[in-house]
A and B are shown apart, each in its own frame.
Chain A
Amino acid sequence: MWTRMNELEKMLNNMDIFRSRLGSAFQDFDRVIEQRHPWATADNYPRTNLNDTGDNLEVIVEVPGVSKDDINVKIQGNYLELSGKRTREVPEGYTVHRTEREANSFSRSFTLPYEVDADKVTASLHNGILTMSLPKSEAAKPKQIAIS
C-alpha cells in the first residue's frame, strides 16, 4: 500500500513539473516577437535604455511607426513620463492579411536616478528611435568643496 502511495505521489510531482513547463510555454507564446528578451512584455512598452554620461542622462526609446507629433514627454524633477499613440492606417480598399504591429496608445513613467533640468532637455527622433538628453540639475551634479 505504501509503495502505491509513493508511486502516486511521484506521478503527481511529475504532473506539477509538467504544469509549470506548460505555464512557461504559454508565457513564451506571448513573446514570440522577441524571444531573446524575456522582459519584452506589454507592461514595459515602449522599451527604453538609460545611460549616464556624467553631466547628462540619456534616455533611448524604441518607438517604431510613431511620428514626432504623437509623442509626449513630461518631465518634473526626477520624474519622466512618456506617452503617445501608435496608429495603424489600413489603406483604403485593401484587404488585411496580417496585423502584428500593435496600434495602441502607450504611457510609461520612470523615476530617474537624478533630478534633471527640464528646460535644457533635447530630444530627437530618428528611424523610430527617440533619443533624449537630459542634463542633470545643478543640485544633482557633483561639487567640489573648497576648504578655507
Chain B
Amino acid sequence: MSDNKALTPSNKHEVNAARELPVVTPAVDIFENTNEILLHADMPGVERENISINIDNGKLYLSGTRTVTDSGATRWQEFGAAEYSRTFSVPQSIDIPNIKAHLQDGVLQLQLPKLEAAKPKQIKITTG
C-alpha cells in the first residue's frame, strides 16, 4: 500500500484552492452483479479534466470541481461553483487496473470489475 501512495503525488495546491468552494455530496446510484459494481454519480457542470478518482486501501475518493461562467448581470442564481466530493468503501476484491470511468451528460459512470478470485464459482461434481 505504501507503494501506491508514492505513485499518486498529493497536489496540496489544488486542495487549498478548492477549499473555498462549497463542498457538495453528489447523489449516487450503485448497482452490482456477479462481475462488477457500477457507480453513477450526478456531477453536472464538471469537466472531464476536473474529476479525480483515487483508490487507496479500500477507499474510493471521488472529487470534481465545477465552475460557473458568469456573463452579464445576475438576475438570480440558484447554483454556483462547487466541489463535489464523496468517499466510498470498496471491497478489496476490485480489479483496480481495469476500472473504467465514463462521463456523460454530467453523470460519472464508474465500472468496478471484480477480481476473478472474487467471482462466484459453480463447482462441478464428477462421478467416478
Contact = CB atoms under 8 A, between A and B. Distances in A.
By DSSP majority rule, is chain A's interface helix, strand, loop, or mixed?
Answer: loop
Interface string B95-113: 0000000010111000000
B27 to A, nearest CB: 4
A4 to B, nearest CB: 49
B116 interface: no
A60 B78 CA distance: 10
A95 B28 contact: no
A97 B42 contact: no
Interface residues of A, number: 44
Interface residues of B, number: 36
Contacts, number: 122
Given A64-B107, A91-B38, A97-B32, A128 B70 contact: no
Contact of A93 (B33, B44, B103): B33
A51 B44 CA distance: 19
User: Which residue among B73, B74, B75, B78 has the maximum number of chain A CB atoms within 10 Å of its CB?
Assistant: B78
User: Which residue among A58, A125, A127 has the maximum number of chain B CB atoms within 10 Å of its CB?
Assistant: A127
Contacts of B47: 127
Interface of B: 22-25, 27-33, 38, 40, 42-47, 68, 70-80, 82, 103, 105-107
